[in-house]
């Protein structure tokens, strides 16, 4: 029996406002295809160039066995790792898994050991992101509940206030969180985005202000390069610490987990090594009884890949859903996922169960300049 071989690898770039969507298509000589995603809020040209360079190591190879190709690509050159290379490998890995499952006619989660769940709990991300008053926090929280979400992400911190008026920032944070909790009610989870705005000096008093209002977690309190400080903070608070969206491999998660640095990890399927590596990160976290809440900031392929991963791991907690991007992401999908009662429903279609609808993105040409982040923080 003739084995299918990879014939071409293409990239497609579109500007989705705050982020550049980059889709990767792998084509085989038997007519089968697979899709990956390498979207980024920043300069994507280096990632696209890396994908093209890796393509030379894939074209002509058997279009099967994604994990074998992952290790081939990881060791293709002397230099490996880093955001550019790992994002490129992640996109290619997801596309190879998608193609493998499509060829076999099964949903991807079947190749990952099966689904522990077919409905995945969601939270509305990028939700209460720029609110300035307690009334806005109350109204936004109430709207999230009305939309059916069981939780939402909220950043009650102000960079300018934290820098120039720390005591006022403490009072403001307390007022905003109290209003959000009142609007959400007691049963809705509020996930706190810190955006690396806290420090070992400010964090203890800020967490004291948050704690009476039962935050579900505090996300990225400090820069991710400081696992010692993050671990120390987790040891001093009962609030779960969630980190990991910018960690790129199981080796980078290992130190954090060994130190007891968090109770939730947030690996990103677009940057952390794709399906192949995120499965290993999830298994490593399971050893330490840490749950997984995948970072999910991309387009329809990122969403689908995150869903299949989340369905297939036992220690899944909740999936990020960037609600302001939902309409465009659905339009850019040939089959938009069903969201109801605070959950997203897993498709049984072959592979990822979705392809990007490129025709719907013609009005969103690629940006020529990198997107700027909000001053003093990185909100994801």
Segment 287-315 shows an average pLDDT of: 98
Secondary-structure percent of the chain, ordered helix, strand, coil, rounded to 5: 40, 20, 40
CB < 8 Å & 24+ apart, contacts of 110-115: 112/275, 112/279, 112/308, 112/309, 112/311, 112/312, 113/312, 114/312, 115/311, 115/312, 115/346
Given a cut of 80, is residue 67 above it in pLDDT?
yes
Given a cut of 60, is residue 375 above it in pLDDT?
no
Q: What architecture does CATH give domain 110-356?
A: Alpha-Beta Barrel (3.20)
Say if residues 243 and 261 touch (Cβ distance below 8 Å).
Answer: yes
Give the DSSP H or E segment for 243: strand 241-243
Identify the pLDDT of residue 219: 97
Q: What fold characterizes domain 6-105?
A: Enolase-like; domain 1 (3.30.390)
Phi, psi of 151 (to 5 degrees): -170, 160
Phi, psi of 209 (to 5 degrees): -70, -35
Split at pLDDT 50, 70, 90, the class of 1 is: low
Domain boundaries defined on the chain = 6-105, 110-356
Split at pLDDT 50, 70, 90, the class of 379 is: very low
Identify the pLDDT of residue 42: 85
In whole angstroms, what is the distance from residue 185 CA to residue 158 CA?
A: 24
In whole angstroms, what is the distance from residue 289 CA to residue 106 CA?
A: 30
Q: Return the SS3 of 351.
A: strand
Say if residues 261 and 241 touch (Cβ distance below 8 Å).
Answer: yes
| pLDDT tens track for 324-372 | 999 999 999 999 999 999 999 999 999 999 999 999 999 999 987 655 5
Say if residues 296 and 321 touch (Cβ distance below 8 Å).
Answer: yes
Identify the pLDDT of residue 124: 97
More confident residue, 379 or 135: 135
Identify the pLDDT of residue 378: 36
Rg for the chain, CA atoms, rounded: 20
Segment 264-291 shows an average pLDDT of: 98
Say if residues 199 and 175 touch (Cβ distance below 8 Å).
Answer: no
CB atoms within 10 A of CB 206: 25
Please state whether 160 falls in left (phi above 0), alpha (psi between -120 and 50) or beta.
alpha
Give the DSSP H or E segment for 37: strand 33-37
Given a cut of 50, is residue 380 above it in pLDDT?
no
In whole angstroms, what is the distance from residue 141 CA to residue 294 CA?
A: 22
In whole angstroms, what is the distance from residue 178 CA to residue 138 CA?
A: 9
In whole angstroms, what is the distance from residue 36 CA to residue 127 CA?
A: 26
């Amino acid at each position: 029996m003739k084995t299918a071989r990879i014939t071409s690898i293409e990239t497609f770039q579109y500007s989705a406002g705050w982020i550049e969507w980059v889709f990767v298509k792998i084509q085989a000589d038997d007519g089968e295809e697979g899709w990956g995603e390498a979207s980024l809020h920043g300069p994507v040209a280096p990632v696209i160039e890396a994908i093209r360079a890796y393509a030379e190591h894939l074209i002509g190879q058997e279009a099967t066995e994604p994990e074998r190709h992952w290790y081939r690509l990881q060791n293709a050159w002397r230099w490996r790792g880093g955001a550019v290379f790992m994002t490129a490998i992640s996109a290619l890995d997801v596309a190879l898994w998608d193609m493998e499952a499509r060829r076999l006619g099964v949903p991807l989660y079947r190749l990952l050991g099966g689904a522990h769940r077919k409905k995945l709990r969601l939270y509305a991300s990028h939700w209460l992101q720029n609110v300035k008053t307690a009334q806005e926090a109350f109204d936004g929280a109430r709207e999230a509940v009305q939309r059916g979400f069981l939780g939402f992400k909220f950043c009650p911190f102000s960079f300018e206030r934290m820098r120039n008026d720390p005591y006022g920032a403490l009072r403001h944070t307390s007022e905003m969180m109290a209003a959000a909790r009142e609007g959400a009610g007691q049963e809705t989870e509020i996930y706190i985005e810190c955006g690396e705005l806290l420090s070992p000096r400010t964090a203890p008093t800020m967490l004291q202000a948050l704690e009476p209002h039962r935050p579900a977690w505090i996300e990225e309190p400090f820069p991710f390069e400081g696992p010692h400080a993050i671990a120390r903070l987790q040891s001093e608070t009962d609030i779960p610490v969630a980190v990991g969206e910018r960690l790129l491999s199981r080796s980078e998660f290992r130190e954090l987990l060994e130190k007891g640095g968090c109770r939730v990890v947030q690996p990103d399927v677009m940057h952390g090594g794709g399906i192949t590596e995120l499965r290993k990160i999830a298994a490593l976290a399971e050893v330490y009884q840490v749950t997984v809440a995948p970072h999910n900031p991309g387009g329809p392929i990122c969403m689908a890949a995150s869903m299949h991963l989340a369905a297939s791991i036992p220690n899944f907690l909740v999936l990020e859903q960037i609600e302001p991007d939902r309409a465009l992401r659905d339009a850019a999908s040939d089959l938009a996922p069903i969201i109801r009662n605070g959950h997203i429903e897993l498709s049984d279609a072959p592979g990822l169960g979705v392809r990007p609808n490129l025709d719907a993105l013609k009005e969103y040409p690629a940006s020529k300049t990198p997107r700027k982040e909000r001053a003093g923080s990185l909100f994801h």
